[in-house]
Amino acid sequence: MKLCIIGSGYVGLVSGACFADVGHQVICVDNNQRKVEMLLRGEIPIYEPGLEELVLKNVAARRLKFTTSTEEGVDGADVVFIAVPTPPQPDGSVDLSYIEQVAREIAAVLKKDQYRVIVDKSTVPVKTGEKVADTIRRYSKPGVVFDVVSNPEFLREGCAVPDLMKPDRIVIGGNSERAVAMMQKIYEPFMAPVLVTDVNSAELIKHAANSFLALKISYINAVARICEASGADVEKVADGIGMDRRIGRNFLNAGIGYGGSCFPKDIAAFIAISDHLGEPFHLLKEVQRINAQQRERFIDRLRDKLWVLRDKRVAVWGLTFKPDTDDVRSSVAIDVVRDLIAEKALVTVFDPKGMEKAVEFKLIEGAHLATSALEAVKDADALVIATEWKEFSAVDFARVKELMHTPLIFDGRNLLEPAMVRALGFDYTSIGRA
Ligand code: UGA
């Protein structure tokens, strides 16, 4: 099928590449000329394992194109996906101005008697589909025929390509049989379970799913506190409850809290949506509170051990909001670095992929930059592990101990084996483990 995807960020670009890879003709539209020029040169603006190969392969096969022109994109497409950002506003509610703008741009180029399906893939509040349909109706020529569908995306950064190619489920929210049938045809090659719903339910599924995952994380973090107070081990507790198939072990890793461009924003949005609908979701406010406290408690424990943070040399491993990505947006690791700098600690950071963006966005001003994990720990009074990159667990810890001034490790992601580091003589603190 002929598909147009408006917005070439994480969701748009990865979806476009995957749709092309299963045989569809895809044109990706982005209003950022620099980004489109990069893509046309074969350069990928984001780091995502497997994405570069996929894009290059499908561009070469002439199934994947890029343009800055909405008209060019929409003109030749049967289905138009909207995958533009829906950033948070200061009160937590969602800024839908990009969606509204794209809806108007699409409306302006729709032609009479050419049926189009307009699909919302961005994460949006329930009832946005109705607004998109109203907007297109209002700004298009008479006689234009279209349907609006909600098709939320569940990919995770760092494994976006496999998540998209082999999804747990595909949610298609549509109120028209014709549109739903076209969507089912697009997804046929993926051979994944498809759930068809009305538009409102599909929109709600996305916020409810992300909020539930965040709830699981805050739940295990609250359990971790009880483990710390009682001498139990949160990893064992998570294994024990996770072996119940009704619960599952995923998203039960205790740590310094969830971050990234999705969970914090989506939980805040779901709270704002429920408030707006007159059904305040107090449980989610507690999820947010526990999450914020995890980092504060971690810094408190570091401060307790070092007594004063001022002028102490602290090495921080990890800046990205999770491993296998270069994304540093709303990263708890960055917040930790900033907290330490605010207390006048002398911070040296290292991250395998996140350094460039952290510097570019001026997120870690005042921190020293190391070129390796070992360089970061030189003369340090403490080492903080803020992101669980696999390569950190493979570092030679005997060498780390030689390089550090005092052998203190604060593992905010339970990456290391306590017995291993303690045997080397480290004073080791982690989350929810004695
Ligand atoms: C999340 C969802 O997992 C995706 O399904 C969804 O499509 C995406 O948001 C989105 O809305 O676009 P993502 O933000 O890429 O994906 O990352 P996750 O792997 O979910 O991790 C989010 C945060 O939770 C990270 O900071 C991670 O460190 C933290 N986390 C995750 C924990 O603290 N503990 C866990 O057990 C799991």
Taking only the tens place, the pLDDT of each residue in 215-260 is 999 999 999 999 999 999 999 999 999 999 999 999 999 999 999 9
Over residues 49-65, the pLDDT tens digits come to 999 999 999 999 999 99
Distance, CA 220 to ligand 1 centroid (Å)? 15
Distance, CA 146 to ligand 1 centroid (Å)? 34
- pLDDT, mean over the chain: 97
Buried b (16+ CB within 10 A) or exposed e, 368-406: eebeebbebbeebbbbbbbbbbeebeebebeebbebbeb
Token pair in block for residue 343? 């207390």
Would residue 262 show up in a list of annotated catalytic residues for this protein? Answer: yes
Q: Tell me the pLDDT band of 113, cut-offs 50, 70 and 90.
A: confident
Mean pLDDT calculated for residue range 104-123 = 96
**Among 166, 168, 217, 249, residue to substitute to test ligand 1 (most atoms within 8 Å of Cβ):** 217
Atom 8 in ligand 1: residue holding the nearest Cα = 156
Is 158:48 a contact under the CB 8 Å cutoff? yes
Domains plus CATH for the chain?
A: 2-197 (3.40.50.720), 213-429 (3.40.50.720)
- The single residue listed with the structure tokens 């990159």 is 389
Over residues 259-293, the pLDDT tens digits come to 999 999 999 999 999 999 999 999 999 999 999 99
Pocket flag, ligand 1, residue 389 (CB < 6 Å): no
Over residues 371-409, the pLDDT tens digits come to 999 999 999 999 999 999 999 999 999 999 999 999 999
**Among 267, 290, 322, 329, residue to substitute to test ligand 1 (most atoms within 8 Å of Cβ):** 322
Atom 23 in ligand 1: residue holding the nearest Cα = 258
Pocket flag, ligand 1, residue 122 (CB < 6 Å): no
Is 161:49 a contact under the CB 8 Å cutoff? yes
Is 75:106 a contact under the CB 8 Å cutoff? no
